[in-house]
Structure 1
């Protein structure tokens, strides 16, 4: 019988101040642990399966305060029962031995509810500020690939030996190892180097917000590359959701966010990320085609167009799923109340649409 695999939902953990938009609009979102513990519990009850913590080392772009991602992720996992937390890791500041040990420990303490998002790096100023060398674009992805291969080896082998350009291990055994299956590994990026790396070593590939048509092009490319390696990579797409009772109300909120954008911060962010992408051999990265309005939500979340009524948003999520998305990663303006609203009003509609399609497919069979 044909049944449809349900699309998964994740949310950005606001462990960084400023929320998920570079705007001076009022936001009832806080970066502290008390707010985030309650948010994680709300999200779990609402039907979210994943939460993605952010990694920043320096203030800027409206984010003056940042909690470290791995320890914060553990705190959220300890406050929940089913939610899986994706901890962002940045090769360079992290060595794979330390990362493997941290994640394996949290994995054991939470019965496997920890994953990893390997961030190759886009903010040169951040690396300079903390005394880390800034590698060329493709070198950063080569290092990230070695980082992932080393973590996987440490998690799965005794007497692990690895001789790479960036990391070396000799007869290293770490115990306890993670509970099987190994922690899932996510990564982002739109460059050729990012797609090639994902095809070889990652479980999940995060892409910035996009239309269904734009997403389908990316999915076709990454899955073809993965198939050549005998692998399948799952796809997560970023989006910023504004769900309201009427489309006019939702569009008004979007307009206010953009009208109250912090122009200096948006232009500063644009300068950094576009320079990082332009350094790739093909001259493109995640933000190559992003406008000022797109960058107010700094992962192009508005471009996925989950803005409108619950019914409109549910239909657009199905369109993203049809384009190849396995997961939608969501940001919100007022996280606690909007995550709860999304769980009550949008996710049930998505599940109903999926169930109807499964029943139709079974009837056809």
Structure 2
């Protein structure tokens, strides 16, 4: 079966502190002027998606945070083709507000808005804003209901739903979002997260992982999706350090880790380990992460996109062959490194794709 070309997304730095818990100097800013230029650069060099982050409280370098939906709308206004994925956190958001917001933005952006449903892992954040903290399974049950409600509100003329968390009776949203409807992304690596993706989500994001670890997750999710008569695509997090030489790239990695803020990394580790251990199987995102892994929030180093453009392109092809449809990428110095990646890596990936599948459409 012919595979579509792999897609590229980048983490939007709409929170301060960059994408590593390190004191290494970073030429990355959370302000809008920086992000507008970054989005325009990413669009120009071949990125198809950008993911805005949602944070309500400070910590781990993210002292300042812009709200995700508003920021996404601003980035859409500054671009022409880029699709922006707005992170939504059930609890602070309910499906009614989210469905209305995103439908309006769909009309304003020619259907370039998507959503990422974040089930929540940071207990302190929920406590700080007065939101009830549900146990692990309940968080995913709520997220699944949230997604089902979004889909129903967007698709049905008169939506009725009776769940444990949300209820609707003959609700009609007008206008509906433009076609194609907003794609729904979700994250997580626990059993509950994977099962939810295999039932309701359009896209499943997982933390960075080894090639074999990614392959196992893809097989697991796709088998369950087939059983559910559902289709889901896979996105994997990766932190890119692309340099002219392999030695230089690994030197940058060492500098990031050596200059890590140990107290902040340990604090982050404490929170995420609590979240993972709350799942019935005692696993989830960050279950097997070392302190070095956690210097990059989403295990991006594990994906091993570190080296020369050729080495990185070849690893991307391996991930694509393992079933990955999209790479969600982070960078140390976002503007210049996104441009370098688009100039030096993406063309190599496309060339390798054509060699493997000459009939592959890149239009």
Q: CA RMSD in A?
A: 1.2
Q: Cα deviation per residue 1:117-174 (whole Å; 9 max; x = unaligned)?
A: 0000000000000000000000000000000011111111122111100001111111
1:125 maps to what in 2? 124
d(CA) in 2 for partners of 1:248 and 1:323?
27
d(CA) in 2 for partners of 1:96 and 1:114?
16
2:82 maps to what in 1? 83
Pair 1:276 & 2:275 matched:
yes
Quote how far apart the aligned CAs of 1:216 are.
0.3
d(CA) in 2 for partners of 1:359 and 1:166?
49
1:219 maps to what in 2? 218
d(CA) in 2 for partners of 1:232 and 1:73?
26
Secondary structure of 1:210's counterpart equals coil
Q: Cα deviation per residue 1:288-321 (whole Å; 9 max; x = unaligned)?
A: 0000010000100000000000000000000111
Pair 1:104 & 2:100 matched:
no
Secondary structure of 1:269's counterpart equals helix
> 1:136-155 maps to which residues of 2 (within 5 A)?
136-155=135-154
Q: Structure 2: which 5+ residue stretches go unaligned? A: none
> 1:48-87 maps to which residues of 2 (within 5 A)?
48-87=47-86
Output the TM-score relative to the length of structure 1: 0.97
- Work out whether residues 4 and 355 of structure 1, in 8 Å CA contact, stay in contact via their aligned partners in 2: no
1:26 maps to what in 2? 25
2:290 maps to what in 1? 291
d(CA) in 2 for partners of 1:154 and 1:302?
39
Quote how far apart the aligned CAs of 1:180 are.
1.5
1:171 maps to what in 2? 170
Secondary structure of 1:232's counterpart equals coil
Q: Structure 1: which 5+ residue stretches go unaligned? A: none
Secondary structure of 2:358's counterpart equals helix
Q: Cα deviation per residue 1:242-279 (whole Å; 9 max; x = unaligned)?
A: 00000000000000000000111100011101100100
Secondary structure of 2:174's counterpart equals coil
Quote how far apart the aligned CAs of 1:360 are.
8.9
Q: When the two structures are aligned, how many residues end up with a matched partner? A: 361
Secondary structure of 1:359's counterpart equals coil
The farther-off stretch of 295-304 and 351-360 is 351-360
d(CA) in 2 for partners of 1:221 and 1:293?
27
d(CA) in 1 for partners of 2:167 and 2:85?
26
Pair 1:250 & 2:246 matched:
no
d(CA) in 2 for partners of 1:264 and 1:222?
35
1:40 maps to what in 2? 39
1:208 maps to what in 2? 207
d(CA) in 2 for partners of 1:74 and 1:333?
24
- Work out whether residues 4 and 357 of structure 1, in 8 Å CA contact, stay in contact via their aligned partners in 2: no
> 1:228-247 maps to which residues of 2 (within 5 A)?
228-247=227-246
1:336 maps to what in 2? 335
Quote how far apart the aligned CAs of 1:3 are.
4.8
- Work out whether residues 8 and 326 of structure 1, in 8 Å CA contact, stay in contact via their aligned partners in 2: yes
Secondary structure of 1:280's counterpart equals coil
d(CA) in 1 for partners of 2:247 and 2:191?
39
d(CA) in 1 for partners of 2:263 and 2:103?
41
